[in-house]
Amino acid sequence: MIPYRPEPLTDFHNPANQEAFAAALAKVEQELGRTYPLIIGGKRVDTGRYIESINPSKKAEVVGRVAMAGKDEVEQALAAAWEAYRTWSRMPVIERAAVLFKTAAIIRRRKHEFSAWMLLEAGKSRAEADADTAEAIDFLEYYGRQMIDLARRADDLVTPISGEDNHIEYIPLGVGAIIPPWNFPLAIVTGMTVSAVVAGNTVLLKPAIQTPVIAYKLMEALEEAGMPAGVVNFVPGDPAEMGDFMVGHKDVRFISFTGSKQVGLHLNELAAKRIPGQRWIKRFVAEMGGKDAIVVDEGYDVEQAAQIIAQSAFGFSGQKCSACSRVIAHESLYDALVDRVAEIAKTFKVGDVRDASVGTGPVIDQKAFEKVTTYIEIGRGEGRLVAGGTASNETGFFIQPTVFADVKPDARIMQEEIFGPVVAFTKVKSFEEAIDVANSTEFGLTGSVLSTNREHLAYARHHFHVGNLYFNRKCTGAVVGVHPFGGFNMSGTDSKAGGPDYLLLFTQMKSVSELL
């Protein structure tokens, strides 16, 4: 088997790639406004109630209408999933992995088409969408190989003993609920779904209400690759109506969730309660966001630091759980760094991402727009506005990259997750103080340290408490298999997606011993 290697990103400086993407975008635009059903047990189900997905760059434009599931459809999907589990769980690992590899090949052939859907439904730029699609391919290729390797090496983990024949195997858990976010509407949806499935589980996939169409396109690829009916059941719906019902259902064995801290904690509490007739303790896997910091040490190059900060804070309008929203800078370079990041922020062109010259698109919807602009108003009272601060939702949900300086470490914009293009600066007198400030939030997802001092890097390695720590690079852009991703504290259960231990979360070890 060919070793796993991350999928190459597209070079959009190449005219041929520009033309290929333009053709894919034109094709996708012809498909806007279609209606999509649920998929339960392989059958299309139209409930007559719909989620209307809109283009956040042009809110009058409907990307698609997707059928909404309710409690009855959840019950149907659970029955279909458990029926499919009887055969899928016993299918040889190599055959389950083969479905993932085939799906990867399908998405790879249609890479620009999948990315184009993300321009229209999630407001991602070409580069951000292309990276999202590449990551989805990576999850398929990586988890398929990881499951094969896990099955092959299981017996090597057992200590031999005379007079007995001993074996272990990693068996699936059962039926799970997959609840992904909207911000990586192909990559994270794919990774969360196929990691559970390749381990032998069957699932109910409830995509985010903002991005259900791209999730449906993944379903089409899985079906084309030969995924048996009922293994993945597509049940989008209103979280208030069916989300709690699904998570709390006695027939759900595990929940895989990525989203906000508030929702994650609620679901964790719900999953922990035993329902009459429930035969197991539910497993809960969660990634719940962050308040990520970049620490800039004395003596670091200001221009290089400013470029890293701008990329980390404003890529995809700051709508990444790994995005930089805090900068903790040494007083010796603080003023120069603030000024340079502010200058860079003002150069970002914000608008409809169909325009190839636009690098920063909209925030996802009206709710996000209101949340981010509210925090900008809070920031005006907590710091000094040096760039941005303006916004418009007239045609789309556009917010200018915003920079606040002279913010106290305990201020709200330094402590609470904003999930938008807003970054706050605070000044420190020493490196030790900087790390203390970095650790002062309830989150612990990603962080970067920009320093040329090896002793300081060693200090940060031991004292900066985040799940993904980066030195002298941006705090975004984790690559599957290269940077296992997941955080500490209120950032989740440290699940480490795209890492060698991730599939263990969806399996249970069975030991079989025979006396000879």
Catalytic residue numbers? 287
Burial class (CB in 10 A: 0-12, 13-18, 19+), 473: middle
Distance, in Å, from the CA atom of 273 to the CA atom of 269, rounded to the nearest integer, reads 7
Q: How many CA atoms lie within 13 A of 461 on its CB side?
A: 9
At 515, give phi and psi (nearest 5°).
Answer: -75, 125
Judged by DSSP in three states, 179 sits in: strand
Helix or strand (DSSP H, E) at 128: helix 126-153
Q: Is the dihedral of CA 117, 118, 122, 127 positive or negative?
A: negative
User: Could you report how far apart the first and last alpha carbons of the chain are, in Å?
Assistant: 36
Structural tokens at position 333: 């370079």
Distance, in Å, from the CA atom of 234 to the CA atom of 41, rounded to the nearest integer, reads 9
Structural tokens at position 294: 């970049």
- Residues 6 or more apart from 451 whose CB is under 8 A from it? 295, 296, 297, 299, 300, 431, 457, 460, 471, 472
Judged by DSSP in three states, 514 sits in: strand
Burial class (CB in 10 A: 0-12, 13-18, 19+), 154: middle
Rg of the chain on CA atoms, in Å: 23
CA angle, 228 as apex, 226 and 229 as ends, to 5°?
130
At 7, give phi and psi (nearest 5°).
Answer: -65, 130
